[in-house]
C-alpha cells in the first residue's frame, strides 16, 4: 500500500539536512551558558542558528528569542498584553481575530474571565478579517495589542498583516502576528509587515519539534513568560535546547533558500487536487480565499459525509489527512474557523484539510482521487442528509 502524507500543516518530517546538522551537533555537549571553550563553541552554533532564523523573515538576529514552540511564543505575547492592560487599570483591551490558533484564543479567554475586555474580530465567508469591524474597535484607541495570524492553519487564507499593523499602530496598539503557517511557505519581510511580535515554529518547516521562536521588535515592551535564568539576555529562562535550536536554524536556512521552488512544486499539486475534487465529487465546498491562499493548504467540505469518517477511511488506504487543526484533535465540535466563516454546522463537520509538503508528487494526488470519490459516495449512502447529485 502506498503511503501518502498530506498533513504537513500539522507537522512536517525532519529533512535529511536538519537531521545531519543535529547529529553533528551532538558533539557539542557542553552547556552554551558556560564560559569555558566547549560551552562557547556550543553558544556559537546557537547564535549562527539565530541568524538563520532571523534571515528567514528579514529580522535582526538579536530580535529572535528561542522558545519551546509557537504555543509558548503566543502565550508569552498575550501575557505581555495582560501586563500592559493591568498597568492601565484595565482601561486598555485586547483584540484577537475569531480564527486564531487555540494558543492565542485560550489565554485570551482566560484574560476575559479575569475581567479584561477582549474583542473578537469576525471574518467573512472567505476567512478574511472584517477590516471594518477591526477599524471600529481600534477607533476607540483603547487597545493594548492586536493579534492576527498571517495565514490560517485550517483554510490557508492569507491576511493583510501589513494593513492590519498600520491600523493597530495608528490607534496606539502593538501588533502580534502568528506566522507559523506562513513562514517558509511565502516570502515574509517582518520589517515591511511592521509587526512588533511574531511567532514561529520549527516543526512546520521540516525542523524538529519542541523548538520555536518569538520575534520581538527592538524596543517593543517585553515581560518574560519564564523566569529563573539569564538565558536569552534574561528574556527567557531555561537551559538552551542546543540540538533543537541548531535543527531550527538549518530548517530556516533551507526554507529561505527554497521558498520559490516550494511554491512552484507544491501549488500545482494542491490546485490539481482541488479541481479534481470539484469536478468529480458533487456537493463539495472549497473553504477559504482561493486567491490569497498558502500554496500547500486545501480545505474542502463534503455535504452528507463526516470529515472524521473520511479521514479514517482514507487512513485505511494509506492516505493521511486532517479535519482541521491537530491541536483540536478529539474535539467533536465543528471547526471554530469554519463556524467563524458562517459555515453550516453540518457542512463544517464534513470538512477535510489536505496539506502538501516537499515530498508530495502528482502520484499522491492520483492516489487520493483513486479512493476519495468512492469513500464519499459510500458515506453519503448511509447518511440521513440528502445530497444533490448523488
Phi then psi dihedrals of residue 371, to 5 deg = -110, -35
Residues contacting residue 363 through CB under 8 Å, at least 6 positions apart: 2
CA-CA-CA-CA dihedral for 183, 358, 373, 275, to nearest 10: 70
Which residues are known catalytic residues? 327
Q: Please tell me the distance from the alpha carbon of residue 114 to that of residue 83, in angstroms, as a whole number.
A: 13
User: Among residues 222, 202, 376, 206, which one has the least CA distance to residue 305?
Assistant: 376
User: Among residues 327, 283, 321, 326, which one has the least CA distance to residue 305?
Assistant: 283
Q: DSSP string covering 105-148, please? A: HHHHHHHHHTT--EEEE-B-TTS-B-HHHHHHHHTT--EEEEE-
User: Among residues 303, 261, 304, 280, which one has the least CA distance to residue 373?
Assistant: 280
Q: Are strands 284-287 and 297-302 parallel, antiparallel or unpaired?
A: antiparallel
Measured at the alpha carbon of residue 89, what is the angle toward residues 170 and 149, in degrees to the nearest 5?
45
Residue 27, Cβ density class (10 Å: 0-12 exposed, 13-18 middle, ≥19 buried): exposed
> Do residues 208 and 221 make contact, with C-beta atoms less than 8 angstroms apart?
no
> Do residues 266 and 296 make contact, with C-beta atoms less than 8 angstroms apart?
yes
Rounded alpha-carbon distances, angstroms, from residue 136 to 11, 95, 225: 36, 12, 31
Amino acid at each position: 500500500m502506498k503511503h501518502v502524507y498530506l498533513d504537513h500543516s500539522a507537522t512536517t518530517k525532519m529533512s535529511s539536512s536538519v537531521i545531519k546538522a543535529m547529529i553533528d551537533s551532538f558533539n557539542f555537549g557542553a552547556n552554551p551558558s558556560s564560559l569555558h571553550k566547549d560551552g562557547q563553541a556550543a553558544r556559537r552554533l546557537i547564535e549562527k542558528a539565530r541568524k538563520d532564523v532571523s534571515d528567514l523573515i528579514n529580522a535582526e538576529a538579536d530580535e529572535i528569542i528561542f522558545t519551546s514552540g509557537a504555543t509558548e511564543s503566543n502565550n508569552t505575547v498575550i501575557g505581555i498584553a495582560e501586563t500592559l492592560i493591568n498597568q492601565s487599570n484595565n482601561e486598555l483591551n485586547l483584540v484577537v481575530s475569531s480564527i486564531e490558533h487555540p494558543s492565542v484564543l485560550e489565554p485570551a479567554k482566560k484574560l476575559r474571565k479575569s475581567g479584561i475586555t477582549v474583542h473578537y474580530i469576525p471574518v467573512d465567508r472567505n476567512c478574511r478579517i472584517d477590516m471594518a469591524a477591526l477599524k471600529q474597535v481600534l477607533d476607540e484607541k483603547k487597545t493594548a495589542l492586536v493579534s492576527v495570524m498571517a495565514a490560517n492553519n485550517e483554510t490557508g487564507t492569507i491576511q493583510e498583516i501589513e494593513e492590519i499593523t498600520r491600523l493597530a499602530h495608528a490607534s496606539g496598539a502593538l501588533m502580534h502576528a502568528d506566522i507559523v503557517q506562513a513562514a517558509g511557505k511565502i516570502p515574509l519581510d517582518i520589517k515591511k509587515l511592521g509587526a512588533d511580535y511574531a511567532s514561529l515554529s520549527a516543526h512546520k518547516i521540516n525542523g524538529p519539534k519542541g523548538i520555536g521562536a518569538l520575534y520581538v521588535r527592538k524596543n517593543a515592551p517585553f515581560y518574560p513568560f519564564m523566569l529563573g535564568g539569564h538565558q536569552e539576555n534574561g528574556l527567557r529562562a531555561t537551559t538552551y535546547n542546543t540540538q533543537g535550536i541548531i535543527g531550527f536554524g538549518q530548517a530556516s536556512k533551507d526554507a529561505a533558500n527554497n521558498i520559490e521552488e516550494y511554491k512552484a512544486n507544491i501549488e500545482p499539486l494542491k490546485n490539481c487536487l482541488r479541481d479534481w475534487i470539484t469536478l468529480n465529487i458533487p456537493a463539495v465546498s472549497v473553504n477559504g480565499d482561493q486567491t490569497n491562499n498558502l500554496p500547500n493548504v486545501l480545505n474542502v467540505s463534503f455535504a452528507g459525509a463526516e470529515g472524521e469518517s473520511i479521514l479514517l477511511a482514507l487512513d485505511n488506504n494509506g492516505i493521511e489527512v486532517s479535519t482541521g487543526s491537530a491541536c483540536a484533535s478529539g474535539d467533536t465540535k465543528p471547526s471554530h474557523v469554519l463556524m467563524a466563516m458562517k459555515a453550516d454546522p453540518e457542512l463544517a463537520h464534513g470538512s477535510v484539510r489536505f496539506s502538501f509538503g516537499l515530498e508530495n508528487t502528482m502520484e499522491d494526488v492520483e492516489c487520493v482521487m483513486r479512493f476519495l470519490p468512492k469513500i464519499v459516495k459510500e458515506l453519503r449512502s448511509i447518511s440521513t442528509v440528502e445530497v444533490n447529485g448523488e
